[in-house]
Every structure is written in C-alpha cells, then in structure tokens.
Amino acid sequence: MLQLILGGARSGKSRLAEKLASDSAFSVIYIATSQALDGEMNQRVAQHQARRPTEWGLIEEPVELARVLRENAAAERCLLVDCLTLWLTNLLLLDDSRRLALEREQLLDCLDGLPGEIIFVSNETGLGVVPLGELTRRYVDEAGWLHQALAERCQRVVLTVAGLPLTLKGTAL
C-alpha cells in the first residue's frame, strides 16, 4: 500500500506517519531525506530520532530515493519516507539541473512494482500566496506537481491540520 501524508509545518504529519508505520505490524525502515547542515536542523533531526522506536531501521538518503526504495521494499516491511519536500529541495539545489527530472521520474516509475507498505510524508506548501523569488516559486510548483503525481498513485492520501487527519483518498483513518 502506498500512502501520502501531507500537511503544513508542525501539522502532525510526521507523528501520524510514524503511528501508521508502528500500527502496520511490519518491520519499519525510516528513510530520512534531510541533511542536518545547521544547528536548527540538527535539533529537528534529534526530535524525530527521539520519537522513533529503537528497533526501526534508518537510511539517510538526500537524493537517490527511488534506488533506496527499490533496494529496501519487501512484503513484510514498511518504509517511511520523511520528507519529500526536503528531498525536492536537495535536488533543486544541485548543480545538475537535469537531476530533479531524472530522480522524480525514477521515483514515480518504481512505485507500481514495490512490495510492502510505503508511507510518504510531505509539506503542503501550495496553500498560501505566490512566493517571491524564482527558486521559491519553482519549489512550490515542483512540490505541487510531485504531490499530484504521487496522490494519483497512492491508495490513501491524508491531509493533516492541527494534528487532525483528513482523508482525501482511500480508507478513512
């Protein structure tokens, strides 16, 4: 089963995804896409680590998400990817402008054949004003297009607001 959990900053999306992974009764591998490049991000990473059960596996991969999913998906396994918008940011900041399209295509192409359960967490950033700056506008556009393509492929899509899940597609929580 493929699930997409969307929400704003501090909306409860990661906590919901972690609960769904724990409730799956599968072994869990947490796939972290962030890069702790400053003190504030180190604190965020530490908060996420403190919440996770110690028996969960961890893979840190900021760019090659499709490869990691193909290598680790299994029938009795839950992969929790947190988060897609950090992954997207990592790709946007690379010197190779073609890499984003390549990695996005590989991600979308690999999903149909993956066994087990996969939960994607992502920030919904398209609900506000159009941002200033070319890179920021591109980020919002790319995130929106990625979310639409993933939502089409996922069996369940949930939007979290103030810690409350609203099921947009699939079986309600």
The residue ranges of every structural domain in the chain are: 2-169
Active site residue 147: no
- Arch. (CATH architecture) of 2-169: 3-Layer(aba) Sandwich (3.40)
Give Cα separations from 47 to 32, 44, 52, 60 (angstroms): 13, 5, 9, 16
pLDDT in tens, 44-53: 777 777 888 9
Does the pLDDT of residue 128 top 80, yes or no?
no
**What is the pLDDT, as a whole number, of residue 152?**
98
Residue 133 marked in a binding site: no
| Residue from 45, 35, 120, 122 nearest 78 by CA | 120
Return d(Cα 34, Cα 32) in angstroms, integer: 6
Catalytic residue among 15, 22, 48, 92: 48
Are 151 and 4 in contact, with CB atoms under 8 Å apart?
yes
**What is the pLDDT, as a whole number, of residue 114?**
97
The verdict on pTM exceeding 0.85 is yes
Give percent of the chain above pLDDT 90: 82
Residue 96 marked in a binding site: no
Residue 126 marked in a binding site: no
Does the pLDDT of residue 37 top 70, yes or no?
no
